[in-house]
Amino acid sequence: MPVATAQQTPAAKSTNTAGAAHTMKALRKLRAEPGLWYVPDAPIPHVGPRDVLIAVTHAGICGTDRHIYEWDAWSQSRIPVGITTGHEFVGKVVGAGSAVQRIQVGQRVSGEGHIGCGVCQPCRTGRAHICEKVDIIGIDRDGCFAQYLSLPEENCWPVDPKIPDAIAAIFDPLGNAMHTVMAAGVSGRSVLITGVGIIGLMAVTVARAAGAGTIVVSDMDDRRLELAKKLGADLSLRGDDENFHDKVRAATQGQGPEVLLEMSGSARAIRQGFAALRNGGTVAMLGLPSKPVELDLNNDIIFKGATVLGINGRLMYETWFQVENFVLSGRLKLDPIITHQLPLEDFERGFKLMQSGEAIKVVLKMPQA
Amino acid sequence: MPVATAQQTPAAKSTNTAGAAHTMKALRKLRAEPGLWYVPDAPIPHVGPRDVLIAVTHAGICGTDRHIYEWDAWSQSRIPVGITTGHEFVGKVVGAGSAVQRIQVGQRVSGEGHIGCGVCQPCRTGRAHICEKVDIIGIDRDGCFAQYLSLPEENCWPVDPKIPDAIAAIFDPLGNAMHTVMAAGVSGRSVLITGVGIIGLMAVTVARAAGAGTIVVSDMDDRRLELAKKLGADLSLRGDDENFHDKVRAATQGQGPEVLLEMSGSARAIRQGFAALRNGGTVAMLGLPSKPVELDLNNDIIFKGATVLGINGRLMYETWFQVENFVLSGRLKLDPIITHQLPLEDFERGFKLMQSGEAIKVVLKMPQA
Amino acid sequence: MPVATAQQTPAAKSTNTAGAAHTMKALRKLRAEPGLWYVPDAPIPHVGPRDVLIAVTHAGICGTDRHIYEWDAWSQSRIPVGITTGHEFVGKVVGAGSAVQRIQVGQRVSGEGHIGCGVCQPCRTGRAHICEKVDIIGIDRDGCFAQYLSLPEENCWPVDPKIPDAIAAIFDPLGNAMHTVMAAGVSGRSVLITGVGIIGLMAVTVARAAGAGTIVVSDMDDRRLELAKKLGADLSLRGDDENFHDKVRAATQGQGPEVLLEMSGSARAIRQGFAALRNGGTVAMLGLPSKPVELDLNNDIIFKGATVLGINGRLMYETWFQVENFVLSGRLKLDPIITHQLPLEDFERGFKLMQSGEAIKVVLKMPQA
Amino acid sequence: MPVATAQQTPAAKSTNTAGAAHTMKALRKLRAEPGLWYVPDAPIPHVGPRDVLIAVTHAGICGTDRHIYEWDAWSQSRIPVGITTGHEFVGKVVGAGSAVQRIQVGQRVSGEGHIGCGVCQPCRTGRAHICEKVDIIGIDRDGCFAQYLSLPEENCWPVDPKIPDAIAAIFDPLGNAMHTVMAAGVSGRSVLITGVGIIGLMAVTVARAAGAGTIVVSDMDDRRLELAKKLGADLSLRGDDENFHDKVRAATQGQGPEVLLEMSGSARAIRQGFAALRNGGTVAMLGLPSKPVELDLNNDIIFKGATVLGINGRLMYETWFQVENFVLSGRLKLDPIITHQLPLEDFERGFKLMQSGEAIKVVLKMPQA
């Protein structure tokens, strides 16, 4: 396990409001190469007047964290070396800045990792998730793979006590799925979900609970296709099925799906999904392709009269209300998605389980302070 | 002028309901090569029980007609040789099938050239313009570059007597512009129109009348850029302006346009427009690229939270009501767009004026029957 | 059983297209007083060039039919004496006018009873259900409580063979419920349904299938409240429950329902529902009060930022697609709602069962021709 | 002029951040009776850590202020005696709390007077204007008819330097008009505005700039009807015109207006407006009736398929962006609406000018500190 000391890290000017402790355990990106480093004595983050300090108890590993771990091209262009990673979490508020008004020490909170500038048009109109200057925890500033996290109070989401920690820790990705499903509008409509990775699988159970008609999913991983059916999909298809379009049409009133939820980021799946879409249909795009994608705009969008929605993050905070209400309704199947819960120190194993496809969602448990 | 006889044409089984006349003058696509042929003795089209026969008086030349005239790749793949071309028109009803209920002989009508199947979901829900089996006059079946046109009565649009013939003849392309503008929703929003050909120019005056905020246009033709300003654009930019994005941002609250109306079909302009779009903005795409276009989906659509709308034809018949009401309001500037009115026999000159860029919209006047 | 002959009826100039038969059995409103009359020799209705003749097999009794039967103030003002009543049905096409294009003799069809003028803005924009000059079968012209019904072909809805006759016969009221639920938008939102008569009960099962969050219902009839729970309501409340608002709030995140589906027509329930509605909520109003209702517009609508939707009939034909898809999905519980199927001759018993509250939906079976 | 000392007022525990001054001039509601009192030595308001202190330079008198001045039933039930009144203003930031991040001392700001709780669903979803616990300045807490105003920084709106003070001072009511117009959606649609008081007149010029089709207005005041025409109305009608409906229909394609903006609060005008509305039309209700109103729900809303929107305040802060952009576009006519600018001390005259109908909008100028 790679270990490093706080002296190597760039965020040393913190203010300690976490009781007697002066340092904490954290996973940091200490070098511009694959891997994350377990730092036993990272500084506890600074808490500004409007921030709270959260003692993180559980944190989910996101596909984005895996990109950072593997140090792909995107990570190299975006991630500041030295940062504490992680952005999905639940924990307990243990400190509060002088101007904090709405969150109390002692509350259990999850939180929104997108921190908007607060002055631009999106931020001022309930759409801070598309702020041009957004800072994201674990990506642009220190995140939640650590014993402590500093977060503006308005980014905190107090979690209903009836919701288990492991679920509360993944409100962020569940929010991605929720935002995608609700933006597209699936109630009574046939749906194709291209790509059933973590968020695609969540989208299956969310779409089913949200009143979707027929749900078809596609992927190249048979295990996930199988799991998707357990979560509510009516039909699971391999992306390379040679009768893909005929089978999709047969399942969707002979006309193709009214809604496409694109969650693969695969150019092939994107084109396949657009081609399958019914005239007048809606596409919600969440999956991130690794490079530009060639689209037949005439046949896929223009003649079809399609509506295409770019989906980023979660609505702040409409999506959070939806996530909490759906979870409390008991109509979501999330347990089959959270396949592993591991102590922070076993993070290497967590990433390897994700890489092998053995795990779906891995939740890390923080050491007690 | 190429001339041909009816014997060479494929639509000979017509029923004559046009008084004593048995043949008519028409422009037909007689051979699979560039050009159109003036046919002095084409058969008068068949009128079914629900159809009316219209004595066409004025017909607009569309960019699509130019593609057919030039016999480009798209035309070769779609147009049945022998067809009468043209789909923008106004005329007078001179005959009616036995089951016609709502249109009277004598009415002046323009009409919708998209003829839906009538049974599919789009046709049954007020969206026949995206019927999968739509037949378009002048493309899939005989059109209006002729003395007579047969059309289902429900596709007829009785035109208010206060509207001049030349304007009534271009309700179809004006409807394309209207549908694009109204689908995007420009009221109080900043707008970028990429491409100010015929429909782009119409979109300028429609967007201004529909309450747009700042209107910026781009094109590669300086004359059209100049005309766009006369029609209501606040800023006209060449697409190759090296400070394009800075200038667009400066004109749109520093954030880029809230609405992009894509009317060029140019891959370069499409990418430029998406890049300029404000986060959370709306794109309405009408221009048809000649081949697939590579898009940076992450930055152009997904992270941006953009909404992209494919625009095809006109809403049947919401758009027609809007076109008529806008024209009657006196708030549209259409006269500068209709640059030429020519007799049918001069069609070659009309196409050449369009090709040279000298003409914007050319309207053909039919010979009296 | 009141019996009358065709001579007493006003619609004698029919054209016979129903094989050898010249007359048919029908329920008619022969006198301006309570009751319906069984006419054994009513004329078979006229079939115009665009109409089909349907041999009705099953017809539902609507609350409106009961108003006509009881001859209330509304009926006296609207119903032409002599008319054949009934507007919910399924049957088989046995004849077709000369210009019929899309419906074939032999098809099983249900149908939309609202016959629009075809030329007004609503009719021309997919909203014929709000045509100002709409004719409704069984109300303004002869209806379906008869062996034969004449209907424009475009009002026919071919029914999927997997759907039983009794369900196909009630697509019309199920469409009322569907239109109300889908217009309001219940996916993931808490819902209060005031009034669980026939359509209110249908709305419960539709809302559940459409992805509603918590569903609360209110009524004054304990049997219906009980049935509503079986159909998917989470909480059933009597309208006179003295802790009504506290209980509704407790069930809806402490803020009241996000959606109100008003299906009672009761002034008291309407006011109670508006008062319960969450700020920013949506109200869909279907129930018809018997006289004007006093509303506290400031607190119920304006300060609350509410959206109120008037719901009339069904979308033509978006709602019909939804009804068919929901029925085929197997996610609706309709069997408990169709409590009785009776032969046409027992219509008096059917009305009495409805009046006593013993029946929910009664379906009449037509005698074979 | 009634004068009082700070000792009589309830808000004495202020923190002074306004330089050497310890008191200020203010208009206060000192007694539970008609009138306002000019207090020369009111305490300067307290500034919390997230608040700024604004030296008010201009403040508009709202119809609500007139209700408070006249001490009507609503005021008696809502206004705490002792409060400083006024909620429309522009001024300069002269002090800032310790946690203020986005607003700088020296900025010219107008501001939103609705102060949400910050934790409820509306507040967390960009709709703080319908927070159940909203505090409004000048109504629930001290307002802007004073030399100094304390306001949360997030409620501040920095005003573009090109906008004159008198216009900046009325962004609040202009925002009411803007919110109403934009919520209804007037682009290309015919509009009836019932009631052309201050906000109704603003709605005329906003609707015209926002792309409305025909605009009809109604009122009982001939001067205002005349002014409405200057601002862009196509037709001005007295509410008691005996041919009201015929004239409205004649001006709106024979079908009535597609949009009703209800700005009178008069029961008669409300019913008249609903009756005139086209089937499928939209109503935005802003005017506040003084008591419950009886509506014919069947004919006015349900059969008509109407959409009714309750309009409260302004969207926070979508409306503010719209207001600024429309004002900067130069397309609004506001000068004829601001009829008087008076020094604070002449407030009695301002109210009397409003009561007589001589003034439309009166702006008070604050004495220099």
DSSP D208-251: HHTTBSSEEEEES-HHHHHHHHHHT-SEEEETT-TTHHHHHHHH
Place of tokens 């029919």: C14
Interface test with B, best of D159, D179, D187, D259 (most B CBs within 10 A): D187
**Partner residue opposite D125 with nearest CB, options A97, A102, A126:** A126
User: How far does B48 lie from chain A, in Å, by closest CA?
Assistant: 28
Please state the ipTM of this predicted complex: 0.94
Contact D78, D139 (CB under 8 A): yes
Pairing status of strand C108-111 against strand C156-158: antiparallel
Q: What is the mean pLDDT of residues B315-344?
A: 97
Q: What is the DSSP letter of A141?
A: B
Hey, is the C-beta of B74 within 8 angstroms of any chain A C-beta? no
User: How far does C281 lie from chain D, in Å, by closest CA?
Assistant: 10
Q: Do C325 and A186 touch (CB under 8 A)?
A: no
Hey, is the C-beta of B126 within 8 angstroms of any chain A C-beta? no
In C, which residues are within 8 Å of B127 by CB distance? 126
Choose, from D58, D67, D87, D179, the residue flagged as catalytic: D67
- Using CB atoms, which chains have 3+ pairs under 8 A with B? A, C, D
The sign one gets for the Cα dihedral B171, B173, B176, B181 is negative
Choose, from C17, C23, C57, C64, the residue flagged as catalytic: C64
Hey, is the C-beta of A333 within 8 angstroms of any chain B C-beta? no
Q: Do B130 and A305 touch (CB under 8 A)?
A: yes
Name the token pair of C359.
Answer: 């029946």
The sign one gets for the Cα dihedral B252, B254, B260, B261 is positive
In D, which residues are within 8 Å of B188 by CB distance? 182, 209-210, 322, 325-326
Place of tokens 């009751």: C35
| Continuous segment of H or E residues that includes residue D182 | helix D171-184
User: How far does D182 lie from chain B, in Å, by closest CA?
Assistant: 8
In D, which residues are within 8 Å of A321 by CB distance? 121, 124-125
Cα(B168)–Cα(C358) distance, rounded to whole angstroms? 61
D2: how many CB neighbours lie within 10 A of its CB? Answer: 13
What's the confidence (pLDDT) of residue A22? 84
What's the confidence (pLDDT) of residue C195? 98
Angle (nearest 5°) at CA B260 between B256 and B264: 125
Closest CA to B62 of B366, B351, B356: B351
C276: how many CB neighbours lie within 10 A of its CB? Answer: 23
Q: Nearest chain C residue to B122 by CA: give it.
A: C318
What's the confidence (pLDDT) of residue C11? 37
In C, which residues are within 8 Å of B321 by CB distance? 121, 124-125
> Residues of chain A whose pLDDT is less than 50?
1-17
For D281-301, how does the pLDDT look when each residue is reduced to its tens digit (9 = 90+)?
999 999 999 999 999 999 999
What's the confidence (pLDDT) of residue D1? 39
Interface test with A, best of B120, B258, B282, B312 (most A CBs within 10 A): B312
Q: Do D186 and B187 touch (CB under 8 A)?
A: yes
Please confirm, yes or no, whether B5 is among the known catalytic residues: no
Contact B274, B295 (CB under 8 A): yes
Phi and psi at residue C151, to the nearest 5°: -145, 140
For B120-167, how does the pLDDT look when each residue is reduced to its tens digit (9 = 90+)?
999 999 899 999 999 999 999 999 999 999 999 999 999 999 999 999
Classified as helix, coil or strand, A200 is helix
- Using CB atoms, which chains have 3+ pairs under 8 A with A? B, C, D
**Partner residue opposite B279 with nearest CB, options A132, A285, A303:** A132
What's the confidence (pLDDT) of residue A171? 98
Q: Do A98 and D99 touch (CB under 8 A)?
A: yes
User: How far does C42 lie from chain D, in Å, by closest CA?
Assistant: 32
Q: Nearest chain C residue to D125 by CA: give it.
A: C280
Closest CA to D279 of B353, A265, B28, C125: C125
Cα(A217)–Cα(A235) distance, rounded to whole angstroms? 6
- Between chain A and chain D, the number of residue pairs with CB atoms below 8 A apart is 49
User: How far does C120 lie from chain B, in Å, by closest CA?
Assistant: 10
Hey, is the C-beta of D61 within 8 angstroms of any chain C C-beta? no
In C, which residues are within 8 Å of D294 by CB distance? 292-295
Q: Do B213 and D326 touch (CB under 8 A)?
A: yes
Look up the pTM and report it.
0.95
Phi and psi at residue D80, to the nearest 5°: -75, 125
Q: Is the pLDDT of residue B250 over 80?
A: yes
What's the confidence (pLDDT) of residue D2? 43
What's the confidence (pLDDT) of residue C137? 98
pLDDT band at residue D22 using 50, 70 and 90 as cut-offs? confident
Angle (nearest 5°) at CA A356 between A350 and A357: 90
For B185-239, how does the pLDDT look when each residue is reduced to its tens digit (9 = 90+)?
999 999 999 999 999 999 999 999 999 999 999 999 999 999 999 999 999 999 9
Hey, is the C-beta of B304 within 8 angstroms of any chain A C-beta? yes
Contact D24, D368 (CB under 8 A): no
Interface test with B, best of A136, A249, A291, A302 (most B CBs within 10 A): A302
Cα(C178)–Cα(C363) distance, rounded to whole angstroms? 19
Hey, is the C-beta of D317 within 8 angstroms of any chain A C-beta? yes
Looking at the DSSP bridge assignments, the partners of residue C259 are: C191, C282
Hey, is the C-beta of C267 within 8 angstroms of any chain D C-beta? no
Hey, is the C-beta of D294 within 8 angstroms of any chain C C-beta? yes
What's the confidence (pLDDT) of residue C3? 44
DSSP B240-265: T-TTHHHHHHHHTTTT--SEEEE-S-
Q: What is the mean pLDDT of residues D31-52?
A: 97
Q: Which of residues 39-58 of C touch D (CB under 8 A)?
A: none
What's the confidence (pLDDT) of residue A15? 43
> Residues of chain C whose pLDDT is less than 50?
1-17
Looking at the DSSP bridge assignments, the partners of residue D295 are: C293
Please confirm, yes or no, whether C64 is among the known catalytic residues: yes
Q: Do D326 and B182 touch (CB under 8 A)?
A: no
Choose, from B17, B64, B194, B319, the residue flagged as catalytic: B64
Q: Nearest chain C residue to A183 by CA: give it.
A: C187
pLDDT band at residue B22 using 50, 70 and 90 as cut-offs? confident
Q: Do A125 and D124 touch (CB under 8 A)?
A: no
User: How far does A255 lie from chain C, in Å, by closest CA?
Assistant: 13
Name the token pair of B30.
Answer: 């007689």
Q: Which amino acid is at A70?
A: E
In B, which residues are within 8 Å of A295 by CB distance? 292-295
Closest CA to B257 of B206, B203, B194, B303: B194
Cα(B25)–Cα(B324) distance, rounded to whole angstroms? 30
| CB-based burial label for B109 (10 Å; 0-12, 13-18, 19+) | buried
Q: Which of residues 163-202 of D touch B (CB under 8 A)?
A: 182, 185-188, 190
Q: Do A212 and C211 touch (CB under 8 A)?
A: yes
Q: Do B50 and C101 touch (CB under 8 A)?
A: yes
- Using CB atoms, which chains have 3+ pairs under 8 A with C? A, B, D
Q: Do C124 and B320 touch (CB under 8 A)?
A: yes
For C198-246, how does the pLDDT look when each residue is reduced to its tens digit (9 = 90+)?
999 999 999 999 999 999 999 999 999 999 999 999 999 999 999 999 9
Q: Cβ neighbours of residue D329 under 8 Å, at least 6 residues apart?
A: B213, B214, D209
Q: Is the pLDDT of residue B12 over 80?
A: no
Choose, from B17, B58, B67, B319, the residue flagged as catalytic: B67
Interface test with A, best of D50, D98, D100, D101 (most A CBs within 10 A): D101
Contact A295, A272 (CB under 8 A): no
